[in-house]
Amino acid sequence: MATARVGACLLVAVMCLSCGAAAAARSPEARMHRHLKRLNKPAVKSIESPDGDIIDCVHISHQPAFDHPFLKNHTIQMRPSYHPEGLYDESKTSSADGEKPMVQLWHQNGRCSPGTVPVRRTKKDDLLRASSFRRYGRKRHTVANPMSVDPAMLNEGGHQHAISYVQGEKYYGAKATINVWDPKIEQPNEFSLSQLWILGGSFGEDLNSIEAGWQVSPDLYGDNNTRLFTYWTSDAYQATGCYNILCSGFVQINSEVAMGASIFPLSGYSGSQYDISILIWKDPKEGHWWMQFGKEYVLGYWPSFLFSYLADSASMIEWGGEVVNSQPDGVHTSTQMGSGHFPEEGFSKASYFKNIQVVDSTNNLKAPRGLGTFTEQSNCYDVQNGNNGDWGSYFYYGGPGRSSNCQ
């Protein structure tokens, strides 16, 4: 009997330990640890940026993209089969103000070696700011639909835009030189960004979108730095896609430029102006959508299988700014778009996009035809198109948000 009682006690103890271990594995702390392990791959080298970021140099075949089941046996494309024709036409890309070279802040403390890719390390605090681990690195919003008859419908979720756009043809890419600023953000859950959108499908639940530009997002990054970013979705931001490389999808090949890292230097009001150049195009041979940063850095690609409509071509291209207006205290946010100044203030005061182009079916870069503009509330954020010999097709955009005319 005594032996039986001892055995029973031992069994209960083992069961309790097992229950405790299972409960610990399900705890928020354990789930956070597992999620961080999925996001942060083993590093060959780590570099601490002056802004507090840690950039991990990860072996190119160990990057987050390869968590995708379709990419398990994927052979990395180390270069696109084709670049768009006319990419280095200096008559289109030169400008009187003398575009200055751009770098990222972490470059001040080191570089990643060939064969590795720089990945901004996700920290515990990043996950704690998110509404859930599952939603971290994802966004909920509608893309500006200039064809809507009711602009109020486009302010769903508090997102507001000031954009130029083209639609009505098949587009195989887009390019722009984007003026870079550090707009002020009123609330941590708001952001301000300037980007280009490659869009396919309708504006319902089937929307495909590839996006790239710069953003200030305290909620995502934990600070007010201006950062290079990308985004993609194949189902209107419901279950697919993410910022940067916070999920499987985008395949990075470049060792120099980190998605989500701080851009340096930035433009100043009535001071020096700094730009970044972004090109996204569809490789006519492989079908992947490639991204290039500046004249030198081909960053990587979104594999064609990620998309339905964009597996063929885009039906609309948009360029411009977007902010979140959470209406703090029931009034319009003072979160700035662009430089925080209206288009009519012009160069060195208002933010701009210049040399905006599309890639046509013959893989040629050309000026967009029938360029339109759209904004939900032009008294808060506005946009004005222009064209000249130095800048090609361009526009100024942005605004301060809340003011005497914007309530």
**Residues with catalytic function:** 211, 322
| Residue owning tokens 């109020």 | 152
For the chain, the maximum distance between any two Cα atoms, rounded to a whole number of angstroms, is 98
For 345, other C-beta atoms within 10 Å of its C-beta total 15
Could you list the beta-strand ranges (E) of 41-158: 43-48, 54-59, 103-104, 116-120
DSSP labels, 331-366: S-----BTTSS-GGG-TTTSEEEEEEEEE-TTSBEE
Identify the H or E element spanning 277: strand 275-282
Q: If we measure between CA atoms, which residue out of 366, 195, 361 comes closest to residue 282?
A: 361
- Whole-angstrom CA distances from 387 to 99, 215, 254, 300, 378 are 18, 26, 33, 31, 21
Q: Which amino acid would we find at residue 131?
A: S
Question: What's the rounded Cα separation, in Å, for the pair 280 and 291?
Answer: 4
Peptide bond preceding 265 in cis form (omega within 30 of 0): yes
CA atoms within 13 A on the CB side of 112: 28
Question: What's the rounded Cα separation, in Å, for the pair 341 and 264?
Answer: 21
